[in-house]
């Protein structure tokens, strides 16, 4: 978004030989192998095969009525452009095919994928390049691929409303059209009516990264008939949680600025009123408004009929994992079929960090949910988690089996600014108070680097050296009782693994990947649309600590309803910060730190004052998602309930310093 791939494969010569062999095999087997759509409605016995010609595929553009009215005096309806590529052979035989859809605002302004591909057209306006590999790989296997321009972008009418009704309806209307419930036309101005029911079987799978995946979430939350699965990658589930963390602003700009960055030239001319509505509905004070409610898909999770395959980077500091936990938990509560991949990367597509496994898994996923192939993907492990660069583990469910929310108390020690962590109840009189002063020039990187030393800008609570590993899986919270010296205050709470590790460099320019000069091919190429993409590899660094979960809040937004107000200096307030979803193992020999501070530089916007804060530790505690619960804590720390109070923290190992990340909401 909002953005502001594994090692190289074969050399070009070998790739050419392999491609030729594949072509020969395809020709020999095409007459004898029928893909799922040719076998009737029975579940197919094996994976779909590339038996259809990509070169001869039908390419067309259709403009679909959204049912919305343009913000113009002429009152013309809003039509969105859908560029379609589908195999010719099933159409010629009267057979229908399922659709893979990616609805995006980025097809002309910013591009998709690691190479920033945009749509291209020939001199007659017919689509030539379909960004990413979906068309190259899946069309020969009997799928249609439909790329939709959200309202107000590229060749669509209307205005972008950043995850609101117009954005969601842009994609939903195309699903309705594919199922015969909406009207489509051959031209933006009208042309002749076009139907999809003669070639589309009505089954749709939506996919996309960032804003694209966000729209998949939003459309699924409408419960639209025909949407069978979604694959949201680094996607938003609540736009409020993208822009704010419990009242604390995460970005300087608002959704109106984001809309302006993607809208087409024609949209700029008539969308000023919509942008003003975005500004009015999303005030910079962090209050929960009707506009945010419209853009909260978690609240409508009960309507989701589609299966959901969530993919996200645990160190994504653009669309942060605050957007994973609530959505996943809501889907689980409503028994939605689901799967999850969690990588060590930032805002990165899995095609660029686990390419071969990703393509194979996605192929199985779409085959099952769109073609009816009984391949067992829905019974396979639910969760894949990257533990270190390119090393993955699996779990049958997520959060991991045996995870229990475990209450941990911060306790003062004999050193101001440095405390310990213990199972409650803490020893009598040991809770105490701690104080710090907000310093907007300091970040979580600075805090973690000095976790074991007193500094005026933060308070650290640490375990001793762990004798067994501690695994965190899921979402947690930190409850703080704080008194501020001024009328405004922001709070940060971060969990840190103190110990050496080799991780993906998520703060680097590639957010955990580096782009190579070689290419690998995934599907068939055509004139103007290559199936060959630059390879990538893990971009790693050695560190002395890892921040693995974060939470932020404005202290004035601690009440019900997320409506804030000025603080009364000297008055204590209690607020519960939501920690971002995570899955991390703190190894034996490392220590765990909970750090509480003010402004997290580069990740939240400072308050309008610089407060001193006092924590009443008797009113502070964390609820952490520990695999094994309290027993695992005791085994790893040697503490029983109430032990650990009064211990002096060990000095922190000298870490490898990293600069604080600077993120923006630009595409």
Domain co-membership, 384 together with 467: no
Backbone angles phi, psi at 64, to 5 degrees: -105, 130
User: 598: closest CA among 490, 495, 456?
Assistant: 490
Residue 1 inside a domain? The answer is no
Residue 174 inside a domain? The answer is yes
Q: Token pair 């000069």 is at which residue?
A: 517
pLDDT band at 659 (very low <50, low <70, confident <90, very high): very low
Q: Considering the chain, what is the average pLDDT of its residues? A: 90
pLDDT tens, 562-607? 999 999 999 999 999 999 999 999 999 999 999 999 999 999 999 9
pLDDT at residue 28 tops 50: no
Q: Please, are residues 2 and 210 in contact by the beta-carbon 8 Å criterion? A: yes
Catalytic residue among 212, 234, 347, 665: 347
Q: Find the largest Cα–Cα distance for the chain.
A: 81
pLDDT band at 372 (very low <50, low <70, confident <90, very high): very high
Catalytic residue among 316, 457, 535, 600: 316
Domain co-membership, 181 together with 267: yes
The pLDDT assigned to 51 comes to: 97
Using the 3D structure, point to which of 365, 395, 425 is the last residue of a domain.
Answer: 395
User: 305: closest CA among 337, 332, 280?
Assistant: 337
User: What HEC string does 401-435 produce?
Assistant: CCEEEEEEEEEEEEECCEEEEECCCCCCCCCCEEE
pLDDT band at 70 (very low <50, low <70, confident <90, very high): low
Domain co-membership, 280 together with 223: yes
Q: From its phi and psi, is residue 113 left (phi > 0), alpha (psi between -120 and 50) or beta?
A: left
The pLDDT assigned to 181 comes to: 98
User: 66: closest CA among 148, 161, 151?
Assistant: 151
Domain co-membership, 363 together with 427: no
Report the pLDDT averaged over residues 615-623: 97
Q: Please, are residues 11 and 519 in contact by the beta-carbon 8 Å criterion? A: no
Report the pLDDT averaged over residues 279-296: 96
Q: Which residue has the higher pLDDT, 654 or 370?
A: 370
The pLDDT assigned to 63 comes to: 98
The pLDDT assigned to 12 comes to: 39
Residue 2 inside a domain? The answer is no
Beta strands 77-86; 190-194: pairing state? unpaired
Domain co-membership, 492 together with 564: yes
pLDDT at residue 38 tops 80: no
The pLDDT assigned to 44 comes to: 55
d(CA 250, CA 244): 5
- Half-sphere exposure in the Cβ direction for 89 (13 Å, CA): 17
pLDDT band at 644 (very low <50, low <70, confident <90, very high): low
**Cβ neighbours for 636, distance < 8 A, ≥ 6 positions apart:** 463, 466, 467, 468, 469, 470, 586, 588
pLDDT at residue 658 tops 60: no
The pLDDT assigned to 561 comes to: 86
Least confident of 286-295, 387-396, 427-436, 514-523: 427-436
The pLDDT assigned to 48 comes to: 97
pLDDT band at 37 (very low <50, low <70, confident <90, very high): very low
pLDDT at residue 645 tops 90: no
Which residues form the domain of 68?
A: 12-395
pLDDT band at 560 (very low <50, low <70, confident <90, very high): confident
Intra-chain end-to-end CA distance of the chain, in Å: 5
Domain co-membership, 346 together with 407: no
Report the pLDDT averaged over residues 614-624: 97
Domain co-membership, 383 together with 423: no
The pLDDT assigned to 641 comes to: 63
Q: DSSP code of 661? A: P
Percent of the chain with pLDDT over 90: 84
d(CA 95, CA 93): 6
pLDDT tens, 472-495? 999 999 999 999 999 999 999 999
d(CA 361, CA 349): 14
d(CA 384, CA 393): 6
Domain CATH code at residue 550: 2.60.120.260
Percent of the chain with pLDDT over 70: 88
Angle between helix 211-220 and 165-178 (nearest 10): 70
Domain CATH code at residue 102: 3.40.50.1820
**Cβ neighbours for 631, distance < 8 A, ≥ 6 positions apart:** none
Residue 661 inside a domain? The answer is no
pLDDT at residue 522 tops 70: yes
Domain co-membership, 390 together with 409: no
pLDDT tens, 321-339? 999 999 999 999 999 999 9
Tally of domains in the chain: 2
pLDDT at residue 292 tops 50: yes
Q: Does 335 qualify as catalytic in the annotation?
A: no
Backbone angles phi, psi at 349, to 5 degrees: -75, 140
Catalytic residue among 3, 156, 210, 549: 210
Beta strands 184-187; 58-69: pairing state? antiparallel
Kindly tell me the number of DSSP H helices and DSSP E strands found in the chain.
Answer: 14, 29
Residue 654 inside a domain? The answer is no
Residue 659 inside a domain? The answer is no
The pLDDT assigned to 45 comes to: 64
The pLDDT assigned to 478 comes to: 98
Domain co-membership, 424 together with 300: no
Residue 47 inside a domain? The answer is yes
Backbone angles phi, psi at 413, to 5 degrees: -120, -165
Using the 3D structure, point to which of 395, 425, 442 is the last residue of a domain.
Answer: 395
pLDDT band at 2 (very low <50, low <70, confident <90, very high): low
pLDDT at residue 657 tops 50: no
The pLDDT assigned to 269 comes to: 82
Q: Report the predicted TM-score, pTM, of the whole model to 2 decimal places.
A: 0.91
pLDDT tens, 403-433? 999 999 999 998 999 999 999 875 544 578 9
Domain co-membership, 589 together with 519: yes
Residue 650 inside a domain? The answer is no
pLDDT band at 26 (very low <50, low <70, confident <90, very high): very low
d(CA 307, CA 305): 7
pLDDT tens, 536-548? 999 999 999 999 9
The pLDDT assigned to 425 comes to: 76
Residue 266 CB coordination number (10 Å):
12
Q: Does 210 qualify as catalytic in the annotation?
A: yes
Backbone angles phi, psi at 324, to 5 degrees: -95, -50
Domain co-membership, 429 together with 341: no
pLDDT at residue 114 tops 60: yes
pLDDT at residue 73 tops 60: no
The pLDDT assigned to 267 comes to: 87
pLDDT at residue 75 tops 90: no
Domain co-membership, 304 together with 368: yes
Using the 3D structure, point to which of 395, 420, 437 is the last residue of a domain.
Answer: 395
The pLDDT assigned to 140 comes to: 98
Q: Does 384 qualify as catalytic in the annotation?
A: no
Q: Is 373 helix (H, G, I), strand (E, B) or coil?
A: coil
Q: Give the torsion through C-alpha atoms of 401, 404, 405, 407, to 10 deg.
A: -140
Q: Which residues pair with 188 in a beta bridge?
A: none
């Amino acid at each position: 978004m909002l953005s502001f791939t594994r090692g190289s494969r074969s050399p070009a010569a070998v790739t050419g030989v392999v491609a030729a062999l594949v072509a020969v095999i395809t020709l020999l087997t095409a007459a004898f192998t029928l893909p799922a759509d040719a076998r009737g409605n029975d579940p197919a016995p094996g994976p779909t095969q590339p038996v259809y010609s990509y070169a001869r595929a039908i390419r067309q553009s259709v403009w679909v009525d959204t049912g919305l009215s343009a913000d113009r005096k002429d009152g013309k309806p809003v039509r969105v452009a859908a560029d379609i590529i589908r195999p010719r052979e099933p159409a010629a035989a009267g057979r229908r095919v399922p659709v893979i859809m990616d609805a995006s605002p980025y097809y002309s302004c910013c591009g998709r994928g690691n190479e920033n591909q945009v749509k291209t057209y020939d001199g007659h306006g017919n689509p030539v390049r379909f960004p990413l590999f979906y068309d190259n790989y899946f069309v020969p296997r009997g799928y249609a691929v439909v790329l939709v321009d959200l309202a107000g972008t590229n060749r669509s009418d209307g205005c972008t409303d950043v995850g609101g009704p117009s954005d969601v309806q842009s994609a939903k209307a195309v699903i309705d059209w594919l199922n015969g419930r909406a009207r489509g036309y051959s031209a933006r101005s009208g042309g002749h009516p076009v139907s999809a029911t003669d070639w589309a079987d009505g089954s749709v799978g939506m996919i996309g990264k960032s804003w694209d995946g966000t729209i998949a979430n939003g459309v699924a939350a409408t419960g639209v008939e025909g949407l069978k699965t979604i694959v949201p990658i680094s996607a938003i589930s609540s736009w409020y949680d993208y822009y704010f963390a419990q009242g604390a602003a995460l970005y300087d700009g608002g959704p109106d600025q984001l809309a302006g960055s993607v809208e087409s030239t024609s949209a700029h001319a008539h969308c000023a009123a919509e942008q003003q509505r975005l500004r009015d509905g999303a005030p910079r004070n962090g209050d929960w408004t009707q506009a945010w409610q419209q853009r909260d898909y978690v609240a409508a999770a009960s309507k989701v009929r589609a299966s959901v395959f969530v993919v996200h980077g645990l160190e994504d500091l653009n669309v942060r994992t605050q957007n994973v936990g609530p959505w996943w938990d809501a889907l689980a509560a409503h028994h939605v079929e689901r799967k999850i991949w969690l990588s060590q990367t930032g805002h990165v597509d899995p095609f660029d960090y686990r390419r071969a496994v990703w393509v194979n898994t996605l192929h199985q996923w779409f085959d099952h949910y769109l073609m009816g192939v009984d391949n067992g993907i829905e019974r396979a492990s639910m969760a894949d988690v990257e533990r270190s660069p390119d090393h993955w583990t699996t779990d049958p469910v997520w959060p991991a089996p045996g995870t229990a929310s475990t209450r941990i108390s911060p306790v003062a020690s004999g050193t101001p600014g440095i405390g310990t962590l213990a199972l409650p109840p803490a020893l009598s009189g040991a809770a105490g108070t701690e104080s710090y002063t907000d310093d907007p020039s300091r970040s979580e990187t600075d805090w973690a680097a000095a976790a074991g030393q007193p500094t005026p800008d933060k308070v650290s609570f640490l375990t001793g050296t762990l004798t067994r590993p501690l695994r965190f899986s899921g979402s947690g919270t930190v409850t703080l009782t704080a008194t501020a010296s001024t009328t405004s205050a922001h709070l940060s709470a971060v969990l840190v693994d103190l110990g050496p590790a080799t991780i993906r460099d998520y703060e680097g320019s590639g957010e955990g990947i580096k782009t190579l000069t070689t290419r690998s091919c995934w599907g068939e190429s055509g004139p103007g649309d290559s199936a060959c993409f630059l390879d990538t590899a893990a971009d790693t660094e050695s560190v002395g600590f890892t921040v693995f979960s974060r939470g932020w809040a404005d202290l004035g937004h601690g009440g019900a309803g997320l409506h804030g107000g000025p603080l009364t200096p000297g008055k204590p307030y209690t607020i519960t910060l939501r920690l971002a979803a995570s899955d991390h193992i703190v190894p034996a020999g490392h220590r765990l730190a909970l750090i509480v501070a003010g402004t997290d530089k580069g990740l939240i916007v400072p308050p309008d004052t610089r407060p001193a804060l006092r924590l009443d530790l008797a009113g502070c505690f964390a609820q952490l998602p520990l695999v094994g619960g309290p027993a695992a804590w005791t085994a790893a720390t040697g503490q029983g309930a109430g032990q650990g109070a009064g211990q002096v923290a060990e000095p922190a190992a000298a870490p490898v310093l990293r600069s604080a990340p600077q993120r923006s909401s630009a595409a």
